[in-house]
Structure 1
Amino acid sequence: MSRNVKLKDIKFPCHIKNDILKREHLEFSSIKIIPNMQYIKVEFHSVFKFNLNSIRRELDIYLFTKENENIDEYPFQLFIRQNITGKIDFKLNAHMTKNAGDIIKFNNMVSLWSEEGLRRLRIHDINCEVLTIVPDKIDVDKIDYVETLKKIMDKVELGTDEIPYINSDELINRIGESKLYLSDRVYCESFISDVRKELIKEQTNISILLKREDSKIIFSRRIGVLPFLVDLDFLNVKPCNKEGKAVLKKILKREIPLILEKFIFDSTPEDYFKELISIFEKEKIPFSAALCKLFTAKGDRPTGKCFMEISKVSEGYWNKHQNITFIIKYADDDINKSIQLNDLIVSEDFINAIPLMQLNENKYLENLAFACYLNKDYKLSLDYCKRAISNNILSITHFTKGLVYLAEQNFEEAYKSYMNGIYLIKNDIWYPVIRNNINIGINNGQIINDDNVKSLINTIELYRRRNHAKLIKNCFCGSKKRYYQCHGKEYIL
């Protein structure tokens, strides 16, 4: 017999509170929540963990909202959806968990719920109890193969938590048929060996998070497992120093984690979250489609950012696996500053952009070096130049160094800086920009147009007109040594 329970003081996370809780109470029937009025369509996803008091028949669900915790500690999923008629579907599942130990725990909870009923269910977010309900009994199919496999693994003394999630009907049937032989240790060891051989050897676990401006997690969704390790060749990065080459090598070997970030445009972060979920549910090659969406996003006014965190590969008893998490974040103060900074750089207002660029110096070293030169802060400009060149020997700040030294009338160092840049960087990148920048410096009074400056401009034109490859065969200093055996020694990759 079904019964309805009226609830008061229901607390939902604030991002949906204003949308669906414009009423005094909700009616609860079975595991569906029926609101009374103002029906607004909404969806809510979250991963969670739980504690179960089987004696008191109380269940506490904890939503993943803590920034300092690992999403892998929240292996279960909660879904709330309100349709246009006002009905809210409330579902819990363990479909996307990575191991059967979690399924055992989940099924124990569901068994208690369906056979004896719960006296109380509490759902918590980071700061408060979100929802308290007292549900009727529900019917859930039990997954017997998990318990059987647990007994087999106990027989061969393997940890329960390492049991992989198995979705092959053939394997499940074999486990079911093995019940007659549980007492035979040799059989159990052979069976575990067979299962291990048949399981997918490489897995990539995909999750998607949506965060508020203050980085609090709004929605969290486990997408599932790709039956392979994601190929990282899509990075297509060409390092410009030895350290960069070493880091890229470790990344491609999946020995260290990697974070990529891109602005998102047009759609709201919440819509972007749903679009990513749809890609992984519907596309035949979902990861490639998700990458395409991430890297082709263009626009003038970002609505937020999407970060893709790729973990290093871990190797367990059963298989190798890595985690990839898409983190979508609403436009916060940092993102708004990035938008403001982008506008200043596009308009070439470099001096006013200096304070904003200094908030993320390593990203804007080249622009900072040039901006500080324009601002006549030559010491700081040189410091940024040296740091930029240290990160990338092909940095255009070789020429910014030259501008600074010309302004300081240190022609010897200016000449070396310009020639290093000319030898290292393709001429279609630096010409005619470096010549024009010198002329601008002359016109605004930063550079004195003496014979040394005129000679340097003539040299720039000479290297532009003649065959670049032949001209840089030997070092510019006249030593008759090859450039990389002379002044270019420190720039060999």
Structure 2
Amino acid sequence: MNDSDSKTFTISTKVKKTDYSHSSFMSLYLASASSGQAFRVYKDIDIKDLNIEGYESKEGRMVMMEFRPNHSELPFLETEFWADLVEDPLNRTLSIQLSNDRNADNAPYMVKLKFRSKGNVNFNIEPSPFASAKEWNKWYSILSKIRGLDYRRTYILGKDKSRLVTSACPNLDNTLSTFEGEFLKKLSILEDKIGNPIIPPTEISQELLDSVIEINEKWEHIDDAEREKEIQQLEKDLNIPMTTLISVQLKNQETDLNRMMIIQHLGWIKYSSFGLKFDDFEKRKEWDKIIKNQSAISYVVNARTFTPEDFFNQLSSLRQEGEYNILSMVNKLLKINSEELPPIKTNIEVKLQEPIGSVQEIQVTIQQADDDYNKMEKLLFEEKYVQAIPFLEKIGANKETLAYAYAINHQYDEAIELADKIIAQDVSTVAHMTKGLAYVGKGEYHSAFDAYQLGIHICRYKWYPIAKENLESFVLSNNTQMTKELQNIIELLDKEREPMNPKEKCYCGSKRRFKKCHGKVR
């Protein structure tokens, strides 16, 4: 419970030598207010209540008084954070410093908080997969002290080190065994000798403990080559499994500390399971390299059914039901069971980081979608492409549409430049048609014919009859004089055709294969 939730009294006491001192009495009260616990006093007490109008003194003999904090009405809330642990041995306090840093390797511990009604707070502390042996050993030591009630107070500190929660020393359901604690202690000693962090294993055996003890004992008596050999063998014996670490953050611009959900599971998510296919050879080659190296990738999707908080809560429910593949969980929530698309409510960004050691981290950010998405969609639905240009430029999506908007807005060079960039990324794009339209606008009909001709032979997306309709509409709205060259272009687009097989002879008559001629990736 927060200190600010307690009710304030001015208290005076009549004491004898054997009674509580005033300062001790206040300490008891403050302890009650901060820990959420009540206490009772059996004394004669005078009370002056500042909350009563007129500052009237209430006197009387009381056998017993009970003091308890005014509990807050916080709704149930469950969240998780990266954190660090700070001890103050002099004052016998433990501070849990919460971090909003999305990089898990910068914070060695995970804290799971549950805020319940009446100000009750439960929390659990676990080392992160990046925690070293020393950090694990520190965690074990702190758990042991908590179990022994060695801390008078436990503080949970926000990003600015302000106290979010003040609690008495919490109870523990369980802690590590003495055997596990001994292993962590010996491993942390070895870590100091090596000078590099060691990640403890998930399973500890007597053989592993004996091995670590043996290396520690002979460390000073062996040379560097032998030390390196011993460490390499130990790393094999530790057998740290590949792990995926997922952090889902509900981002709120109004606060520094945002709700998080942390999921861990064995193994990495296989990129090959995405089912992505590329016609472009270079793109396919690049994707195969990404799969092989498990390289960093990211993507953004928008949700229409749920608000950010609802989306986060739905993911939390799926996790409680036993699901852990975050990509499948997100896709499940994106499905819409209506023909008419509702407005976009939520923006979801997924970043798959390059693995560090045996751990691959996936960061998911859930936040309020920019309403410009919906403004853009409305304009595009109404086919007001020119008015949509500022939104298309800002959001960076629908580049093919932006190139088309440039063309009909007489920004021909911008349209051609963007179309070329799109074609470089996807040679089978409809941007060939937009490029042809822009050249028509410039009056360069030969270049326009070439662009359209390549488009109808290589484009794997639906272009017929849209390309012809767009061209005819453009000619009409701009009062473009019909010439034989322009008529040839319209006739070129008058018939639907399948994309050319890359192994076929090129349409230009060069007798070379299409993929080696006009269909060559540039």
TM-score, length basis structure 2: 0.74
Partner of 1:219: 259
Indicate how the Cα distance of structure 1 residues 284 and 237 shifts in structure 2: closer, same or farther if over 3 A, else same.
Answer: closer
Partner of 1:359: 394
1:373 aligns with 2:407: yes
Distance in 2 of aligned mates of 1:27 and 1:439: 75
Instruction: Select 1:411's aligned residue among 441, 445, 449.
Output: 445
Map Cα deviations across residues 313-366 of structure 1 (whole Å, 9 max, x no partner).
Answer: 233xxxx221122222233xxx222222222223221111101111244x3321
Query: CA shift at 1:399, angstroms?
Result: 0.9
Partner of 1:90: 122
Partner of 2:90: 55
Distance in 2 of aligned mates of 1:137 and 1:117: 10
Map Cα deviations across residues 199-227 of structure 1 (whole Å, 9 max, x no partner).
Answer: 35322122222211368441123222x22
Matches within 5 A, 1:193-232: 193=233, 196-197=236-237, 199-213=239-253, 216-224=256-264, 226-232=265-271
Map Cα deviations across residues 266-324 of structure 1 (whole Å, 9 max, x no partner).
Answer: 33322322332333343266456425425546852232222221111233xxxx22112
Distance in 1 of aligned mates of 2:74 and 2:490: 72
Distance in 2 of aligned mates of 1:137 and 1:453: 81
Instruction: Select 2:423's aligned residue among 389, 402, 405.
Output: 389
**Over aligned residues, Cα RMSD in angstroms?**
3.8
Indicate how the Cα distance of structure 1 residues 438 and 104 shifts in structure 2: closer, same or farther if over 3 A, else same.
Answer: same
Map Cα deviations across residues 167-197 of structure 1 (whole Å, 9 max, x no partner).
Answer: x4xx3566678899787659x9999958844
1:253 aligns with 2:292: yes
More divergent stretch after superposition (94-103 vs 266-275): 94-103
Query: CA shift at 1:403, angstroms?
Result: 1.2
Distance in 1 of aligned mates of 2:436 and 2:213: 82
Query: CA shift at 1:424, angstroms?
Result: 1.0
**Would you say the 8 A contact 2:268–2:360 is kept in 1?**
yes
Distance in 2 of aligned mates of 1:343 and 1:407: 27
Distance in 2 of aligned mates of 1:98 and 1:416: 56
**Would you say the 8 A contact 2:136–2:184 is kept in 1?**
no
Indicate how the Cα distance of structure 1 residues 92 and 137 shifts in structure 2: closer, same or farther if over 3 A, else same.
Answer: closer
Indicate how the Cα distance of structure 1 residues 194 and 388 shifts in structure 2: closer, same or farther if over 3 A, else same.
Answer: closer
Query: CA shift at 1:98, angstroms?
Result: 4.6
* Structure of greater relative contact order (alpha carbons < 8 Å, 6+ residues apart): 1
Matches within 5 A, 1:284-433: 286-287=325-326, 289-293=328-332, 296=335, 299-315=341-357, 320-331=358-369, 335-361=370-396, 363-426=397-460, 429-433=462-466
Partner of 1:278: 317
Distance in 2 of aligned mates of 1:255 and 1:38: 46
1:434 aligns with 2:476: no
Partner of 2:18: none
Query: CA shift at 1:418, angstroms?
Result: 0.6
Indicate how the Cα distance of structure 1 residues 164 and 452 shifts in structure 2: closer, same or farther if over 3 A, else same.
Answer: same
Instruction: Select 1:237's aligned residue among 254, 269, 276.
Output: 276
Partner of 1:20: none
Structure 2: state its 5+ residue gaps.
7-31, 39-67, 220-226
Amino acid across the alignment from 1:308: V
Query: CA shift at 1:460, angstroms?
Result: 2.8
Instruction: Select 1:110's aligned residue among 135, 143, 147.
Output: 143
SS of residue in 1 equivalent to 2:371: helix
Partner of 2:50: none
Partner of 2:35: 28
Distance in 1 of aligned mates of 2:502 and 2:251: 55
Amino acid across the alignment from 1:147: E
Partner of 1:262: 301
Query: CA shift at 1:53, angstroms?
Result: 2.5
Map Cα deviations across residues 14-39 of structure 1 (whole Å, 9 max, x no partner).
Answer: xxxxxxxxxxx9552479x9752646
Indicate how the Cα distance of structure 1 residues 117 and 373 shifts in structure 2: closer, same or farther if over 3 A, else same.
Answer: same
Query: CA shift at 1:163, angstroms?
Result: 2.9
SS of residue in 2 equivalent to 1:230: coil
Instruction: Select 1:41's aligned residue among 66, 76, 86.
Output: 76
Distance in 1 of aligned mates of 2:161 and 2:487: 72
Partner of 2:199: 163
Indicate how the Cα distance of structure 1 residues 414 and 183 shifts in structure 2: closer, same or farther if over 3 A, else same.
Answer: closer
Amino acid across the alignment from 1:94: E
Distance in 1 of aligned mates of 2:152 and 2:34: 17
**Would you say the 8 A contact 2:306–2:346 is kept in 1?**
no
**Would you say the 8 A contact 1:307–1:328 is kept in 2?**
yes
Map Cα deviations across residues 75-124 of structure 1 (whole Å, 9 max, x no partner).
Answer: 3333443445x251321311655545433212222334444633554332
Map Cα deviations across residues 110-152 of structure 1 (whole Å, 9 max, x no partner).
Answer: 3344446335543322235033525247456344313324415
Distance in 2 of aligned mates of 1:65 and 1:450: 64
SS of residue in 2 equivalent to 1:461: coil
Identity of aligned residues (%): 19
Amino acid across the alignment from 2:468: R
Query: CA shift at 1:429, angstroms?
Result: 1.7
Distance in 2 of aligned mates of 1:393 and 1:215: 44
Indicate how the Cα distance of structure 1 residues 65 and 406 shifts in structure 2: closer, same or farther if over 3 A, else same.
Answer: same
